[in-house]
């Protein structure tokens, strides 16, 4: 079944990002019938693979849809969920579901100094578009031990490239970042994406094109 789900998602440029069975006793989100989910599969992207699919979908629709990428993701992942008897959840659903904690468990990833999870192949250029929640357990193999590239990165250019030091050991200064991106000197971030994220040397082949980075930055900054 998992291979069939992966194939259904791949038709939209989406990637099955692993999953796990919830440990007994913890509070879990509900599945399709409303009973507690027993397993989760994460759906995401490596690089900007879904972008052309999203653009084609968007052509035939109103250009004023709020959160169009979320809407596309919900539509596509919702259809796959329906086919396979799962409930689809979105990273934007509130209260927020712990997508990054789930991803760490599913793929053995760890956070970079930016908070974005570091992937051994995709670097910082990956994201989550949804999750499939099942009321039955799934037979998973062992989660592989993955190398955390940030451990070997001495220079940490990701912490040195932002003109307002939005990312530091104290975490992400959301307000400082927003004010800069919206302001006069924020043009490079608006058109080409976050300078700290772009400074990371890993996963360069998966770096989102400027058009995609500008789309996300516009959404982030509410421009
Ligand atoms: C709220 C939110 C934000 C807020 C954070 C506010 C705050 N200080 O908490 C803001 C708006 C700042 C934000 C920004 C970004 N975010 Co954000 N965000 C979320 C969201 C929707 C909820 C986080 C949450 O509270 N979860 C609930 C808790 C219980 O779950 P958790 O797994 O334990 O959450 C961890 C993260 O939230 C993390 N965290 C806390 N603060 C921040 C800030 C940043 C920047 C990141 C990346 C993580 C992070 O620490 C938590 C504890 O482990 C998640 C999706 C999700 N459902 O998790 C995306 C998510 C964490 N964001 C993501 C990304 C990529 C970003 C951006 C880098 C990119 C963008 N959207 O353009 C930007 C950074 C801005 C920039 N200059 O580039 C990705 C990370 C993917 C990855 N590869 O790891 C996620 C998973 C969304 C997705 N669709 O994939 N984000």
- Which pLDDT tens digit goes with each residue over 152-161? 999 999 999 9
Q: How many residues does the chain have?
A: 223
Within 10 angstroms of residue 24's Cβ, the number of other Cβ atoms is: 8
65 pocket-lining for ligand 1 (C-beta < 6 Å): no
pLDDT at 38: 97
Please state, in angstroms and as integers, the Cα–Cα distance from residue 67 to each residue in 71, 213, 220, following that order.
Answer: 6, 15, 11
pLDDT at 31: 97
Averaged confidence pLDDT in the chain: 95
194 pocket-lining for ligand 1 (C-beta < 6 Å): yes
Q: With a cut of 80, say whether residue 143 has pLDDT above it.
A: no
* CA separation for the pair 48, 171 (Å, rounded): 26
DSSP annotation of 75: H
Q: Output the CA 7–ligand 1 centroid distance in Å.
A: 27
127 pocket-lining for ligand 1 (C-beta < 6 Å): yes
pLDDT at 16: 97
pLDDT at 25: 81
Nearest residue to 22 via CA among 106, 127, 117, 108: 106
143 pocket-lining for ligand 1 (C-beta < 6 Å): no
Stronger pLDDT, 62 or 59, i.e. the higher one: 59
Residue with tokens 């396979």: 84
Q: Under a CB-based contact definition with an 8 Å cutoff, are residues 31 and 21 in contact?
A: no
* CA separation for the pair 16, 123 (Å, rounded): 17
Within 10 angstroms of residue 182's Cβ, the number of other Cβ atoms is: 13
Q: Under a CB-based contact definition with an 8 Å cutoff, are residues 5 and 84 in contact?
A: yes
pLDDT (mean) for 160-183? 94
pLDDT at 62: 84
Residue with tokens 């530091």: 168
* CA separation for the pair 107, 146 (Å, rounded): 8
């Amino acid at each position: 079944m998992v291979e069939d789900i992966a194939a259904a998602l791949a038709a939209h440029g989406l990637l099955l990002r692993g999953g796990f069975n919830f440990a007994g006793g913890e509070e879990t989100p509900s599945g399709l019938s409303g009973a507690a989910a027993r397993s989760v599969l994460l759906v995401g992207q490596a690089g900007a693979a879904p972008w052309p699919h999203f653009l084609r979908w968007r052509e035939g629709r109103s250009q004023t849809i709020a959160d169009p990428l979320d809407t596309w993701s919900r539509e596509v992942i919702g259809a796959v969920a329906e086919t396979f008897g799962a409930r689809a959840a979105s990273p934007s659903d509130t209260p927020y579901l712990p997508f990054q904690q789930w991803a760490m468990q599913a793929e053995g990833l760890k956070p970079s100094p930016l908070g974005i999870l570091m992937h051994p192949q995709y670097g910082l250029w990956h994201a989550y578009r949804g999750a499939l929640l099942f009321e039955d357990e799934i037979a998973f193999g062992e989660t592989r031990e993955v190398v955390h590239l940030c451990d070997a990165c001495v220079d940490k250019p990701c912490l040195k490239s932002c003109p307002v030091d939005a990312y530091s050991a104290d975490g992400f200064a959301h307000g400082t970042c927003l004010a800069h991106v919206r302001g006069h000197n924020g043009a490079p971030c608006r058109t080409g994406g976050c300078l700290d994220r772009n400074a990371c040397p890993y996963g360069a082949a998966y770096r989102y094109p400027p058009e995609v980075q500008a789309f996300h930055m516009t959404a982030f900054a509410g421009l």
